Structure 1
């Protein structure tokens, strides 16, 4: 999946960054170009930045610490990403807590010993979970909702040293080279953390962000598009056989959407799927052909074949209604399909480097191409688009 990000040309990325608006600034500065944040604040970890860079961080004198114990609450639908990081000796010894496939993953490096362990229940169910991390002698313990989730034991042949100096903590990123970890994972996480209690201390945290984005009070699974940006993939990564064509599937309440749901730009005809919140229908356009259709269910399937474009809506797996069939007058279209761009939530421009507009406002519950769910964290994505959650 990482090929999605690498496949998008740098010039398009630059154009996208310049063309789409970001957010304003607010917050309390500390005189060093950074904003101070309470450790107990509610923090949205998916905020746009370098994906490995922590969103907030703090540094503590080890002499001030009486107990190595921290707790916080986590809520996410995202199966993968960085949650919490800590280190001593400026990153020589370190700890990382993340999710992978929804399951907690702890990676620790201390005294030349590298340990990785994963287990416990999946936490990406959209509910608030209380996590507590503590150091208990030779063991690092992760408790989830009051029960042991993971227990890691470490013992080195080297004599135990008395720690001194500083300890660094971070949320949403790491302060070491990612290649030092045994298990690699995608770091960006659509998640919220709140009610942090860090080593029983009340020190402020810092962030390089001009402001911290808020978390929705209630969420449901999906990708939310607020009408200010889109996510772009290179179509060459979607493997297909010419005789079977290419299929894209979209789930959501189309009557509540407004703007471009999907656009595909290739050397051949341009394809767009646009929702109109006023008329409660969607317009399918392929080249010069346009058809307005009313979608009465929440699953739409578009199949590109060598001689036609077929649009279906499904009540369930056993009942399918064909909404429209558009003949293809460009017989080599599927060959050109490999050399284009697919945008979710916006209209790709007509020029080579032009980024269009007509951004989608609404929630797509699921997006699938060639039977594979799209993870928008792996796209060139505007910072306003959330990858795994929508406001409920």
Structure 2
């Protein structure tokens, strides 16, 4: 995806960039211990690896580039993440295309210029969108679904140096230190790229992982737990005043879930709370100390409110399905101190070794999670690599 803008000067095309990619579902070794992949396949960008490390990358000589246009399709519900990167001069001049708040964000560094621009339609709607990046004179132009989406122009004070040296390309990460970016962002994207046409390049790409993960054919918004791990937060990131209580709300088809949905524990203490779904009995159970609440009706939305001396549970906004569980002052004299010092996990029982496969890990899709009335972004959690933060298979 050559996205290095090429500047017209003195009749010469200079590479600032505009490139990237070409890979397949199957690959062969290249003698360096890395699998080679080649163009047009569908690739999942959210695959587990070092946070800023690209998924695939390649290096080509600038003299081999004959085209300054690339296109591909992108599908995601994730509002933020790196799509692709390219650089010249071993990283002195570089380009990054990403999403931020769901809209395209382009950042370019060329000698004495560092620019960024964001705009165009939101792309995190779960639909396939065709993106085309081209160099038009002193501008890099991004088109989305055939319409103009974004333009970035730069003008350098330095003389052109011609098409010399190598061009490095990467998908899903960057090859420079992330602090050099003008706009900081979360790099990992729960999304897919397919049908790439990347300049005129036929050079194989190298996978930075042992195997490329596939993409689901059809997806829906939510967080998907395949039963192999959990995501946890420090509860201190959800500040609360004692009189206000704590609200945790979950949306989804609970009859299709199996395992622990929510657990809360403070260091050195017994498990404070566990919310567990049983797919065999279509039962959802909330356990608070010695007290248990069993819900056998079909549940699509569950609101749990923690107050000083009780926990209130509301199913599907139906007051007739409201229940309260007392908090024993003998067992827990300071529940809110427990909240300030503890951990909250989605998808498993706290106390299990993170990453271990166990019967308590959740299998299923949570379509939406809110804590204190705010959507919970699992990208900000300590989570198992198998969990998809923003999409579920349908």
Structure 2 length normalisation: TM-score?
Answer: 0.89
Within 1, Cα distance between the matches of 2:336 and 2:320? 24
Deviation at 1:292, TM superposition (A): 1.2
Q: Deviations 1:314-335 (Å, cap 9, x if unpaired)?
A: 34xxx54443211111231111
Deviation at 1:146, TM superposition (A): 1.1
- Rate the CA distance shift 1:215–1:355 in 2: closer, same or farther, 3 A: closer
1:160 paired residue number: 160
- Rate the CA distance shift 1:138–1:323 in 2: closer, same or farther, 3 A: same
2:284 paired residue number: 282
Within 1, Cα distance between the matches of 2:333 and 2:261? 25
Q: In 2, are the aligned partners of 1:268 and 1:336 still within 8 Å (CA)?
A: no
Q: Say whether 1:324 aligns with 2:326.
A: no
- Partner SS, residue 379 of structure 2: helix
Q: Deviations 1:249-293 (Å, cap 9, x if unpaired)?
A: 000000110011111112365210000011111011011222211
2:380 paired residue number: 378
Within 2, Cα distance between the matches of 1:391 and 1:93? 39
Deviation at 1:151, TM superposition (A): 1.1
Q: Deviations 1:285-320 (Å, cap 9, x if unpaired)?
A: 0112222112434110111110001111134xxx54
Deviation at 1:204, TM superposition (A): 1.3
Q: Say whether 1:256 aligns with 2:264.
A: no
Q: In 2, are the aligned partners of 1:143 and 1:150 still within 8 Å (CA)?
A: yes
Instruction: Give me the CA root mean square deviation.
Output: 1.7
- Partner SS, residue 148 of structure 1: strand
Unmatched 5+ stretches in structure 1: 1-25
- Rate the CA distance shift 1:354–1:379 in 2: closer, same or farther, 3 A: closer
1:92-241 superposed matches below 5 A: 92-241=92-241
2:11 paired residue number: none
Q: In 2, are the aligned partners of 1:130 and 1:144 still within 8 Å (CA)?
A: yes
Q: Say whether 1:73 aligns with 2:70.
A: no
Q: In 2, are the aligned partners of 1:245 and 1:306 still within 8 Å (CA)?
A: yes
Within 1, Cα distance between the matches of 2:270 and 2:108? 51
- Partner SS, residue 135 of structure 2: strand
Within 2, Cα distance between the matches of 1:237 and 1:268? 21
Unmatched 5+ stretches in structure 2: 1-25
Deviation at 1:111, TM superposition (A): 2.2
Q: In 1, are the aligned partners of 2:228 and 2:357 still within 8 Å (CA)?
A: no
Deviation at 1:29, TM superposition (A): 2.2
1:273 paired residue number: 275
- Rate the CA distance shift 1:27–1:61 in 2: closer, same or farther, 3 A: closer
- Partner SS, residue 338 of structure 2: helix
1:305 paired residue number: 307
- Rate the CA distance shift 1:270–1:133 in 2: closer, same or farther, 3 A: same
2:367 paired residue number: 365
2:35 paired residue number: 35
Deviation at 1:160, TM superposition (A): 2.2
Q: Deviations 1:64-120 (Å, cap 9, x if unpaired)?
A: 001222111100000000001010011000000000000000000012101100000
- Rate the CA distance shift 1:269–1:383 in 2: closer, same or farther, 3 A: closer
Q: In 2, are the aligned partners of 1:250 and 1:367 still within 8 Å (CA)?
A: yes
Structure 1 length normalisation: TM-score?
Answer: 0.89
Q: Deviations 1:155-196 (Å, cap 9, x if unpaired)?
A: 122222213111011110001111111111111100000111
1:46 paired residue number: 46
Within 2, Cα distance between the matches of 1:269 and 1:366? 24
Q: In 2, are the aligned partners of 1:85 and 1:169 still within 8 Å (CA)?
A: yes
Within 2, Cα distance between the matches of 1:240 and 1:145? 44
- Rate the CA distance shift 1:122–1:321 in 2: closer, same or farther, 3 A: farther
Aligned length: 363
- Partner SS, residue 338 of structure 1: helix
Q: In 2, are the aligned partners of 1:248 and 1:303 still within 8 Å (CA)?
A: yes
- Rate the CA distance shift 1:218–1:373 in 2: closer, same or farther, 3 A: same
- Rate the CA distance shift 1:109–1:183 in 2: closer, same or farther, 3 A: same
Greater strand fraction, Structure 1 or Structure 2: 2
Within 2, Cα distance between the matches of 1:228 and 1:49? 17
Which range is displaced more, 69-78 or 284-293? 284-293
Which range is displaced more, 155-164 or 169-178? 155-164
